[in-house]
Amino acid sequence: MRASKDQRQKITATGRSTGAQPRSYRSRSARPLAAGLWLGAACLMAWMLIAGETRTALTASPWLVLASWTVYIAQWRPCLRVDGSGFEIVNGLRDHRIPFETVEDVEVRQSVVIRASGRKYASWGAPGTPNAAASGYPNAVNLRNLPLNVLPDNQRMSQPVAVGGRDEIAKAWQEARASGFPSSQGSVTSTWNRTTIAIGILTVLWAVTATLI
């Protein structure tokens, strides 16, 4: 269904929408997993200090910080943001701003891959295709690839539709196309997260120095 003119987002000179609030999509398990690993590292450090292993704690601390940094870039930070003018892929060390008008296709499988300006951009943290149970099937077996006549009483058609972040990601681009965005204007902007990279380099140097001393 085509959106009316009143529903179209006004785009500023920078290419960002002035009306839509950006939404972030990420795997549900990413941040709880990261928090659990950080808690484990903190408990390990506390245990060594309580046990009086101060030297061991000092030697292990840079490696624990390095592990925590790795968890941050791999689990905590990655996500896919969507607003009225495009996608923003936030990965561990590099971000990509992708205007809707440059998008050629959006693939939502085990990961979200956006084809834009002749290249593919994969999101580390966006939710992918769910398993069979998450899709509404009562059995643990993945039935999505079975033909319709294999399922008794057409169970595939009777299953409830699970709408999640992956559906909203694809829908955002479809609505943008229906609103009349041009297909040959705009460009993808990629930037390195210099602060995160600098912290990682310093942590590696700290860990190497602590090992050599």
Q: Is 156 exposed, middle or buried (0-12, 13-18, 19+ CB in 10 A)?
A: middle
DSSP 139-204: SSS--TTS-GGGSGGGHHHHSPP---HHHHHHHHHHHHHHTT--SS----EEEE-HHHHHHHHHHH
The full set of domain ranges for the chain reads: 20-127+164-212
pLDDT tens digit sequence for 79-137: 999 888 889 999 999 999 999 888 888 888 788 899 998 899 999 988 866 543 344 43
Confidence band for 211, pLDDT divided at 50, 70 and 90 = confident
pLDDT tens digit sequence for 179-195: 665 544 579 999 999 99
The pLDDT score that the predictor gives to residue 51 is 93
